């Protein structure tokens, strides 16, 4: 008997003091409806807590939403923390208000994808499934 493929696991997180979570909740529902196993860590998470949750939950993806302009501080620190824990195999995607020049820098640092406001949910699903 063939087993269906396991759903990809994605941890969605709000790192730092950003308290705006409507967008990440919409993305969580869209990914869930597309068959992903979604874990949402909630607001105001530390980098260490997010990395620990990613390890504990054995996720394939880590999606971080940042709307407060701290993406060039928080995301590089998050990527480094993942490397230190030997979790570089986890794909990192970032959503929020991120200027195109900063998106390019984040991609150079190891982020796999950046998604701004208004990104269609099917685009995020397709990206994570590719």
Domain boundaries, the chain: 9-118
Pick the CATH number of 9-118 from 1.10.10.10, 1.10.645.10, 3.40.50.280, 1.20.120.330: 3.40.50.280
What per-residue string of b and e applies to 13-22 under the rule 16 or more CB within 10 Å gives b? bbbbebeebe
Give the least confident one: 12-21, 72-81, 85-94. Answer: 12-21
- Three-state SS at 45: strand
Check: CB of residue 59 under 8 Å from CB of residue 6: no
pTM above 0.85, yes or no: yes
pLDDT value, residue 80: 98
Q: What is the dihedral of CA 39, 37, 115, 91, to 10 degrees?
A: 90
- 93 pLDDT band, cuts 50/70/90, is very high
- Per the listing, tokens 């063939």 go with 2
How far apart CA 14 and CA 41 sit, in angstroms, is: 7
- If you average pLDDT over residues 48-62, what whole number do you get? 98
Question: What local confidence, expressed as pLDDT, does residue 19 receive?
Answer: 87
Residue 104 has pLDDT above 80, yes or no: yes
Tens of pLDDT, residues 1-33: 555 567 899 999 999 888 889 999 999 999 999
């Amino acid at each position: 008997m063939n087993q269906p493929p396991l759903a990809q696991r994605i941890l969605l997180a709000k790192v730092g003091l950003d308290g705006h979570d409507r967008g990440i909740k919409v993305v969580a529902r869209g990914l869930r409806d597309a068959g992903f196993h979604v874990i949402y860590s909630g607001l105001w998470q530390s980098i260490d807590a997010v990395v620990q949750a990613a390890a504990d939950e054995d996720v394939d993806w880590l999606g971080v939403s940042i709307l407060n302009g701290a993406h060039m501080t928080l995301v590089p620190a998050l990527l480094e923390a993942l490397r230190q824990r030997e979790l570089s195999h986890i794909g990192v995607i970032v959503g929020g208000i991120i200027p195109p020049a900063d998106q390019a820098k984040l991609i150079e640092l190891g982020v796999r994808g950046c998604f701004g406001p208004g990104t269609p949910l099917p685009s995020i699903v397709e990206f994570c499934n590719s």
